Structure 1
């Protein structure tokens, strides 16, 4: 246990979501004085009055802002305005209310989707402003990036101490498996499992398989967020990742192996690949607060598959882009 957390009252917005649950699990090991992780039913943070009430009623020393409305490529294409506006409002309100309340420490978690569509690999934090994000991710990515601008402006004008972190693609137990909100790994696991059960000889996958992604196990991400909360004080954004890039074609093969699917893969090239490549430079996180991911991908993938098989009803229960606050 780190002494930093011993007497801290901690608020985790989005604490009932995928990443939020992982952060709360790791945080519980540090035994904070009090941890609050409310749901959207309690406080709709897109309403400034609700954000004000939450800060006034909980009086936290530390706020970790994870609340978001999220989805995969499908949700990004179908509901871009919702994803933009609700994420922008939630972040704006939380940051402003933390400023007004004089919150000791604020951590805002952004997204890798904020990077330009064509960014030199591995993505360096200095590349954030060199171009426009991939169009299917842009509304969400820009809404989150605006929160970095707000944090830096508040630091310059008011001295507010807030930090901004950008995890790469997350996966792990507790992920969302409903088709309307799932990202690539849960979507592929579900597809392969159902093909095995139905005796199908093939599965269909969006895109060409040539795009690449980097995947960070959710508990590693949680650990990185808490390390940064404790040790980082800077104004610059920081990537959280593994610095390991994987083509989607290779990912599909690994998921099929774990799920026991031996049929063929048919690529639907009429569907988008999304951003061509994703892999982040993790040097800043390592140097500034000692974070390095530790979970081997195949181990994390198997854990995710096993959790899904044991919790299918829960995993598939959410049918729209998740909003947790």
Structure 2
């Protein structure tokens, strides 16, 4: 790939899109076009196709999707399915018509069949079985995206790299305490608890295990796939973290002293999910941020920008 090639990034206004565009620029890729909803509505096939044919990108990083955490997934199953299926179809088809050379797509480890065949999760098992009910519709749209990419390579000669992303977090995340992913939701709750002097309420008992990756590291992983990868790769830290340890890290970093209430009657989703990233590491990827470093940087950003954050606590 040439540094002079034109690159499109969908989902450019999101947490990962912002980090990726910065990382691409830092790597010397100067012809990067970020696509947000204000530029084009990706659910409108005609407008997406028109933009791609005008720009004629060489590579497309497809990150855009309708994303929720556990609570949001449970409340918006069919909306998630409809909108993400439409977005993915329009983007990949527009890539074909514009003769794009490579698509780097953001998938999800939620697409793995559950119960898991192997832990840590390995790429060869991605499409075996059915995803967990708590993430079913979102996961199936990401599976469909992968099948579309496979077909586009076979019959449309478009190379692809599909990154099955673990839980990412960092600056510009959505800190909605009702429907965001686990890290931003917990950070938002802890931030509000400190302001109000209340205790931090956390779903479950803290024993659940997850793999978390700081967004800047995720962006570097996508660039590694762009430059060196083809096919399916897990994008993760490769390290399992107990929710109790995550909560303690957040509490320590934010300086919350009011205590924690574990709501053991609440849904917790999958008990344990650790993700093998050895295939990605073999391309030269190595995360730079520990969970403590990433949480600290995220909270520092949130503290500096809290007046502009919608925590969703009114609902």
Q: 2:223 is matched with which residue: 221, 226, 231?
A: 226
Structure 1 CA distance, aligned partners of 2:312 and 2:266?
A: 24
SS of structure 2 residue aligned to 1:110: strand
Alignment pair present for 1:305 and 2:299: yes
Q: Quick check: 2:209–2:243 contact (8 Å CA) kept in 1?
A: yes
Q: 1:187 is matched with which residue: 160, 163, 185?
A: 185
The worse-fitting range, judged by mean Cα deviation, of 31-40 and 76-85 is 31-40
* Residue matched to 2:44: 47
SS of structure 2 residue aligned to 1:311: helix
Shift of 1:122: 0.7
SS of structure 2 residue aligned to 1:6: coil
Q: Give the ranges of 4+ consecutive aligned residues of structure 1 lying more than 3 Å apart after TM superposition.
A: none
* Residue matched to 2:276: 281
Cα deviation, 1:192-221, whole Å, max 9, x if unaligned, reads 222222222x22111232211111010000
Shift of 1:318: 8.0
Structure 1 CA distance, aligned partners of 2:202 and 2:105?
A: 33
Alignment pair present for 1:169 and 2:159: no
* Residue matched to 2:256: 261
* Residue matched to 1:114: 111
Cα deviation, 1:128-172, whole Å, max 9, x if unaligned, reads 122211111110011011111111122222322122111210011
Shift of 1:98: 0.8
Shift of 1:5: 4.2
Distance change in 2, residues 1:185/1:192 (3 Å): same
Cα deviation, 1:208-251, whole Å, max 9, x if unaligned, reads 3221111101000001101110112x3x3100111100111111
SS of structure 1 residue aligned to 2:224: helix
Distance change in 2, residues 1:112/1:314 (3 Å): farther
* Residue matched to 1:322: none
Q: Mapping of 1:9-88 within 5 angstroms?
A: 9-88=6-85
Shift of 1:40: 1.0
* Residue matched to 2:238: 243
* Residue matched to 2:150: 152
Cα deviation, 1:269-308, whole Å, max 9, x if unaligned, reads 2321112211111111122x21121211111110011111
SS of structure 2 residue aligned to 1:249: helix
Structure 1 CA distance, aligned partners of 2:219 and 2:30?
A: 19
Q: RCO (CA 8 Å, sep 6+): is it higher in 1 or 2?
A: 1
Q: Quick check: 2:120–2:274 contact (8 Å CA) kept in 1?
A: yes
The worse-fitting range, judged by mean Cα deviation, of 100-109 and 14-23 is 100-109
Distance change in 2, residues 1:198/1:180 (3 Å): closer
Shift of 1:191: 1.6
SS of structure 2 residue aligned to 1:36: strand
User: CA RMSD, aligned part only?
Assistant: 1.7
Q: 1:296 is matched with which residue: 290, 308, 311?
A: 290
For these two proteins, the number of residue pairs brought into alignment is 312
* Residue matched to 2:203: 206
Structure 2 CA distance, aligned partners of 1:197 and 1:158?
A: 54
Structure 2 CA distance, aligned partners of 1:317 and 1:35?
A: 31
Gaps of at least 5 residues in structure 2 are none
SS of structure 1 residue aligned to 2:105: strand
Cα deviation, 1:72-115, whole Å, max 9, x if unaligned, reads 11110111111111111111111111112211221111111111
Scaled by the length of structure 1, the TM-score of the pair is 0.91
